[in-house]
Chain A
Amino acid sequence: MKNLKLASRTITERTIVNVGNVKIGRDLVVIAGPCSVESEEQTLETARAVKKAGADMLRGGAFKPRTSPYSFQGLGLGGLKILARAREETGLPIVTEVIDPRDVSWVAEFADVLQIGTRNMQNFSLLKEVGQTGRPVLLKRGMYSTLEEWLNCAEYILSEGNPDVILCERGIRTFEKYTRNTLDLSAVPAIKELTHLPIIIDPTHSTGRLSLIGSMSMAAVAAGTDGLMIEVHCNPHEALCDAAQALTPEIFGGLMRRLRPLKSFLECDNERSAATYAENRSAVRCDNET
């Protein structure tokens, strides 16, 4: 970790990334939307639904890094224009992935946050390029990467003069086959020990199972995550990409109604326990004096 000049905890002040009115690193920020932008209709409908459910930002892929070259590759520039229209209508800032260094400046023209996907975490020329845009970057953890490798990638972006890096844990490869990946929730408190950068959790790609997304979102909030990135599709069965793991707007709405109260409960609880701790301390001191 000694190579981390800008990402390490030696900088004590926590980074808060401002995107419009959204403050990542201070509030619980929920980013929701479809895996990919398929059409204007689908994107706008989903955007309206996640906005109504209380999401803070809209996600959606215009450039898709697919495992197979024959899978749907995304709408490209057309997808970016649709996302810009969705922002115009809903006011939700846009998070979208960039996979090609040649596209970085163009994606930055349309999006509010540039996402670096798990497969590109160590694509250093891409990291340098996004480091020069002045747009916040959401850096997903490589599916085979250690925390140290991940933070070194953040360091690449920071060292180009871009201070706004958001880390996103999206599950790592293990021998377990029931889930798509294994969500490493310990990354949340560990990252907070190691760096001042905010961290969010992607419960969708990490589990790959609809039934687990709700529980893992709650667990992530309990672990102290700064936000969640959840796939929502207005019509999941017709999705062109990752159909089996997108929540319907209804289920997402239900989850949102549980997330925010949990967060406030934990905050109150923190204050309460801090108060109790202080009381106990003074009690102990009194005891010692006697």
Chain B
Amino acid sequence: MKLEEIRNKIDKIDRELLVLLQERMGLALRSKKFKKTVSDPEREEALLDRVERLNLDLMERSFTRQLLKTIIEESKRLQEKDHLLVAFQGEHGAYGDVASRCLVPDGAFIPCMEFADVFRGVEEGYLDLGVVPVENSLEGAVTQVNELLTTTNLKVIGEAQIPVKHCLLATEATNYREIRLVYSHPQALAQCRGFLMRNKLEPYPYYDTAGAAKMLARENPRTSAAIASSLCAELYNLEIIKQGIEDGPSNSTRFLLLSREPYEGRGDKTSVVFATPHKAGQLYKILSLFAEAEINLTRIASMPLRTDPGNYSFFLDLEGSDQDEKISQVLKQMKELTISFKQLGSYPADIQAV
């Protein structure tokens, strides 16, 4: 091996070490929800002992012990900070992460594999808040999330309209001229099709945009780049070759902030979900209540009921708070006309939201 090759390998290992440490810190934060106190001397000692028993001939036992001790100290420092645990679906750097940082600036952001994990974690109290996408301006409703909203008992306490600005990212060691393969989520690849064609780049589907960025940072495959958010460039130390590479006009996703408790303040936007009996004019009757009371609706969406094919539940977003006299009256009347009815909550509207 030449010196340059050796150094490249060392750099790669350093990157992997840090990405793994970041993951470890996230897990340490989550473990706090199961413990009464931050410090757990017994567990610490067990960890240190186990590491010391490992026979790594290039490393002194005192060194490995010290190294782990430093990591544990840092985890404890982090745990003591009392961050709110904000869960999102995807890897660090996903657009859900971008939305979480916007909605809860000083939170600790916890990646989850599935939307269901976000909902379950918050419901069961292992996580404090959840951030989930409900609708994309180009692709429409995120059905899985809308379904989970109807079947779980979480409250909406905020929203954010997040512009989707795709970036072409590569590691510093990659020369843009050599890029041939581009990894990303199929949806992101589709949104950047023109850009990829113009530059003769081959799209390569990956499970997640941020996952592709993370893979680049860890493995640095040759002649490869990823399409992901600019946050990923920051988190994984990648170079932004070009920002805003999507073909279409502005594309954005609306995210909701979920909590076990309703929003404490008054709020100025209210979300409800309901289903009507299969009778003529039933939906019309409900909508006319809002028309008569002059309440503006900002979203009406229908979703097939999985439990009852052929029937639908409807999502309504309206301007105003459920604490307003006019609105609470209408919601009360509305409830009588439905077979299922759920108030998702009143919350501060994002002025960017449509």
In the complex, what residues of A have CB within 8 A of residue B242's CB? 109-110
Within 8 A of A (CB), among B171-209: 176-177, 195, 198-200
With a CB–CB cut-off of 8 A, which chain B residues contact A109? 195, 198-199, 242
Q: What secondary structure prevails in chain A residues at the interface with B?
A: helix
Chain B nearest CB, measured from A287 CB (Å) = 65
Q: Report whether B199 and A102 are in contact in the complex, using a CB–CB cutoff of 8 Å.
A: no
Provide the bound-state CA to CA distance between A228 and B200, in Å. Answer: 35
Count: A-B pairs, CB below 8 Å = 17
Interface residue total, chain A, C-beta cutoff 8 A: 9
Q: Which of A88-142 contact B (CB under 8 A)?
A: 102-103, 105-106, 108-110, 133
In the complex, B38 has a CB within 8 A of chain A:
no
Contact B177–A105 (Cβ < 8 Å): no
- Tell me if B200 and A106 are in contact (CB < 8 A): no
* Cβ-defined contact, B177 with A103, below 8 A: yes
- How many B residues have CB within 8 A of the partner chain? 8
| C-alpha spacing A102/B200, complex, angstroms | 11
Indicate the member of A102, A106, A110, A133 with the most B CB atoms within 10 Å. Answer: A106
Chain B: which residue is nearest A103 at the CB level?
A: B177
Q: Is the CB of B241 within 8 A of A108?
A: no
Give the residues in chain A near B177, CB-CB below 8 Å.
102-103, 106
Q: When the two chains form their complex, are residues A108 and B198 in contact, meaning their CB atoms are under 8 A apart?
A: yes
Give A31 Cβ to nearest chain B Cβ, in Å: 24
Chain B residues within an 8 Å CB radius of A108: 198
Residues of A within 8 A of B176 (CB): 77, 106
Chain A residue nearest to B200 in the complex (CB): A105
Give the docked Cα–Cα distance between A150 and B195 (Å): 32
Nearest CB of chain A from residue B309's CB, rounded to whole Å:
48
B227-265: contact bitstring with A at CB < 8 Å (1 yes, 0 no)? Answer: 000000000000001100000000000000000000000
Residues in B with CB closer than 8 Å to A102 are 177
Instruction: Say yes or no: A105 contacts B241, CB within 8 Å.
Output: no
In the complex, A105 Cα to B194 Cα: how many Å? Answer: 12
Looking across the interface, which residue of chain B has its beta carbon closest to that of A76?
Answer: B176
CA distance A103 to B176 in the complex (A): 9
Residue of B nearest to A109 (CB): B242
Docked complex Cα distance between A226 and B184 (Å): 46
A78, closest chain B residue (CB): B239
- Chain B residues with CB under 8 Å of A77's CB are 176, 241
Residue of chain A at shortest CB distance from B239: A77
- C-alpha gap A109/B200 in the complex (Å): 13
Q: Which of A102, A105, A108 has the largest count of B CB atoms less than 10 A from its CB?
A: A105
Report the bound CA distance from A266 to B28 in whole Å: 77
Q: How far is the CA of A216 from the CA of B198 in the complex (A)?
A: 40
- In the complex, the chain B residue whose C-beta lies closest to that of A108 is B198
**Chain A nearest Cβ from B188, distance in angstroms:** 17
8 further A-B contacts with Cβ under 8 Å, apart from A105-B198, A106-B177, A108-B198, are: A77-B176, A102-B177, A105-B199, A106-B176, A106-B199, A109-B198, A110-B242, A133-B198
Nearest 9 pairs of A and B residues by beta carbon: A105-B199, A102-B177, A77-B176, A105-B198, A109-B242, A106-B176, A106-B199, A77-B241, A103-B177
Give A contacts to B, CB under 8 Å. Answer: 77, 102-103, 105-106, 108-110, 133
What are 16 A-B pairs at a CB distance below 8 A? A77-B176, A77-B241, A102-B177, A103-B177, A105-B198, A105-B199, A105-B200, A106-B176, A106-B177, A106-B199, A108-B198, A109-B198, A109-B199, A109-B242, A110-B242, A133-B198
